[in-house]
């Protein structure tokens, strides 16, 4: 296969089943640290994580082998559903239930629509959740499990975030976010997020408006000392002026010179790819020698 960037032939670097990239905040002013992770259903068969920050500035190609495997059971499938599942797992696994995407629709305790897995609900849904303000493409309100801070913010490409309130479970925080979304955005416009290094918005003022609305709803905020503003940098050499998106279903090769990583996107000079979108896809990563 020819490499899309031209030049010398590229060498194999890594192979595995795509899942969302691992990310951690950098120390001090350092940018976030990213790594490709193998989402194979069998932990014993997974490839080791591949650190990505060191690959900035190198020509890379992500080559789809044509094989999609369910990350839950390993079944081969023509299409991945939800978070990288085959259709049977999508219909039965608790991780793919409607309330995972829309927590305000939680149906736990409904005898007519029972929870798919009580143990999962106790471990995942009935845990402290945080409502927060974040600056991604613009200020937004969001929610996450407390244990997912700050990873959730990095996955969204937030350049700043502030926790505002803690609630005891996923349904409670989901209902609250839904009510706030009528007046405050809960969306990230991914193309804008990938074009901007630091959007010009006053997150502190946005957070204060949310706090005022929380007070009107009788919701107790976190103590002021716990509502600190978190800021993040990303490993980006250059942001794209125009965003072109790679789609492995249409073209099995995505790549170019790796210019940056933000959110769950690899940013090449020839286009960007949302790694998480292709969870379950078997790929090979090829690159030029350092």
Q: Render pLDDT for 87-97 as a digit per residue (tens, 0 to 9).
A: 999 999 999 99
Q: What percent of the chain has pLDDT over 70?
A: 97
pLDDT in tens, 243-284: 999 999 999 999 999 999 999 999 999 999 999 999 999 999
Q: Tell me, yes or no, whether 55 lies in a domain.
A: yes
> Nearest to residue 254, comparing CAs of 240, 264, 268?
268
> Can you give the length of the chain in residues?
290
Q: Tell me, yes or no, whether 85 lies in a domain.
A: yes
Q: Tell me, yes or no, whether 151 lies in a domain.
A: yes
pLDDT of 64 reads: 98
Q: Tell me, yes or no, whether 19 lies in a domain.
A: yes
Q: Tell me: pLDDT of 191 over 50.
A: yes
pLDDT in tens, 113-146: 999 999 999 999 999 999 999 999 999 999 999 9
Q: Where is 179: in which H helix or E strand?
A: helix 170-180
Q: Tell me, yes or no, whether 247 lies in a domain.
A: yes
For the chain, the average pLDDT equals 94
pLDDT in tens, 17-28: 999 999 999 998
Range of the domain at 241: 11-287
pLDDT in tens, 201-210: 899 999 999 9
Angle at 247 between CA 12 and CA 78, to 5 degrees: 85
In the chain, the number of structural domains is 1
Angle at 244 between CA 33 and CA 152, to 5 degrees: 35
7-11, 38-42, 71-75: which has the minimum mean pLDDT?
A: 7-11
pLDDT in tens, 20-66: 999 999 998 899 999 999 999 999 999 999 999 999 999 999 999 99
Cα dihedral 48, 53, 54, 60 sign? positive
Whether cis (ω within 30° of 0) applies to the bond prior to 48 is no
DSSP E strands: which ranges in 170-287? 230-231, 253-262, 265-268, 271-274, 281-287
pLDDT in tens, 83-122: 999 999 999 999 999 999 999 999 998 999 999 999 999 9
Q: Tell me, yes or no, whether 6 lies in a domain.
A: no
Q: In whole angstroms, what is the distance from residue 89 CA to residue 194 CA?
A: 32
pLDDT of 198 reads: 67
Q: Tell me, yes or no, whether 256 lies in a domain.
A: yes
> How many CB atoms sit inside 10 A of residue 217's CB?
11
Q: Tell me, yes or no, whether 2 lies in a domain.
A: no
- Torsion angles phi and psi, residue 76, rounded to 5: -75, 140
């Amino acid at each position: 296969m020819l490499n899309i960037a031209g030049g010398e032939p590229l060498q194999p670097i890594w192979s595995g089943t795509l899942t969302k990239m691992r990310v951690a905040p950098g120390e001090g002013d350092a940018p976030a640290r990213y790594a490709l992770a193998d989402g194979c259903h069998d932990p014993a068969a997974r490839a080791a994580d591949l650190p990505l920050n060191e690959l900035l500035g190198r020509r890379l190609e992500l080559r789809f082998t044509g094989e999609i495997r369910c990350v839950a059971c390993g079944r081969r499938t023509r299409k991945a559903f939800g978070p990288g599942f085959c259709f049977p797992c999508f219909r039965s696994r608790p991780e793919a239930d409607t309330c995972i995407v829309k927590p305000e629709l939680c149906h736990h305790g409904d005898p007519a629509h029972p929870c798919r897995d009580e143990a999962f609900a106790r471990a995942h849904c009935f845990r402290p959740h945080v409502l927060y303000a974040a600056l991604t493409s613009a200020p937004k309100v969001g929610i996450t499990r407390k244990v997912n801070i700050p990873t959730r913010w990095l996955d969204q490409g937030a350049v700043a975030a502030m926790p505002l309130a803690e609630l005891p479970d996923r349904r409670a925080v989901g209902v609250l976010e839904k009510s706030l979304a009528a007046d405050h955005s809960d969306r990230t416009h991914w193309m804008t997020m990938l074009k901007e290094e630091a959007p010009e918005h006053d997150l502190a003022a946005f957070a204060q408006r949310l706090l005022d609305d929380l007070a009107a709803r009788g919701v107790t905020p976190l103590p002021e000392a716990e509502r600190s503003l978190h800021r993040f940098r990303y490993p980006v050499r250059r942001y794209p002026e125009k965003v072109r998106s790679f789609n492995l279903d249409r073209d099995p090769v995505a790549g170019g010179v790796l210019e940056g990583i933000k959110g769950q996107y690899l940013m090449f000079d020839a286009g960007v790819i949302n790694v998480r979108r292709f969870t379950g896809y078997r790929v090979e990563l090829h690159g030029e020698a350092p």
